[in-house]
Structure 1
Amino acid sequence: MFAIPSFVWATGETFGAQSTVSPSLVKLARDGVPWFLAVLVVTGFLKLLGALVGIGLTRPRGFRTSRLMVFCGGGAATLLTWHGGLFVGHGVLIEAGAVSVEPDLVGLTGWYLYLWGPWFVMGGLAFAVATALYVRQCGDRRRLRLYGTVGALGALVLSLASTAAGIG
Structure 2
Amino acid sequence: MSSPVPSLADTSSMPEPGRWAGYVTAVCAFLFAVSSFYWGFGGTFLLDTVGSEAVRLVEEGNVGIYVAVWFAGFVKVAGGVLALALVQPWGRRLFRHWMLLIAGWGAAVALVLYGGVQIGIQLMVLGGILVPPGGMDWRGFYGHLYVWDPWFIVWGLFMGITAFYYTRNARRRRALGTTA
**TM-score between both structures, scaled by the size of structure 2:** 0.67
Matching residue of 1:135? 167
Distance 1:64 1:51 in 2: 15
Matching residue of 1:12? 42
Matching residue of 1:125? 157
Matching residue of 1:149? none
- Select the structure with the greater relative contact order (CA < 8 A; seq sep ≥ 6): 2
Matching residue of 1:29? 58
- Are 2:90 and 1:58 equivalent residues in the alignment? no
Are 2:87 and 2:166, in contact at CA under 8 Å, matched by a contact in 1?
yes
Relative to structure 1, the CA distance from residue 32 to residue 66 in structure 2 (aligned partners, 3 Å threshold; closer, same or farther) is farther
In terms of Rg, which structure is larger? Answer: 2
Choose from 67, 71, 76 the match for 1:42.
Answer: 71
Matching residue of 1:94? 125
Distance 2:94 2:142 in 1: 44
Matching residue of 2:116? 85
Unmatched tracts of structure 1, length 5 or more: 142-168
One-letter code aligned to 1:123: W
One-letter code aligned to 1:7: F
Relative to structure 1, the CA distance from residue 73 to residue 96 in structure 2 (aligned partners, 3 Å threshold; closer, same or farther) is same
SS of corresponding position for 2:131:
coil
Distance 1:30 1:75 in 2: 36
Distance 2:167 2:127 in 1: 40
| Identity over aligned pairs, percent | 29
SS of corresponding position for 2:87:
coil
Are 1:2 and 1:47, in contact at CA under 8 Å, matched by a contact in 2?
yes
Unmatched tracts of structure 2, length 5 or more: 1-30, 174-180
Matching residue of 1:113? 145
- Give the stretch that moved more between structures: 49-58 or 104-113: 104-113
Are 1:84 and 1:120, in contact at CA under 8 Å, matched by a contact in 2?
yes
> What RMSD over aligned residues (CA atoms) do the two structures have, in Å?
2.4
- What are the superposed Cα offsets for residues 80-108 of structure 1, whole Å, 9 maximum, x if unpaired? 11221122112111111122334341233
Relative to structure 1, the CA distance from residue 10 to residue 62 in structure 2 (aligned partners, 3 Å threshold; closer, same or farther) is closer
Runs of 4+ aligned residues of structure 1 deviating over 6 Å after TM superposition are: none
Are 2:51 and 2:139, in contact at CA under 8 Å, matched by a contact in 1?
no
Are 1:80 and 1:124, in contact at CA under 8 Å, matched by a contact in 2?
yes
The alpha-carbon deviation at position 44 of structure 1 amounts to: 0.6
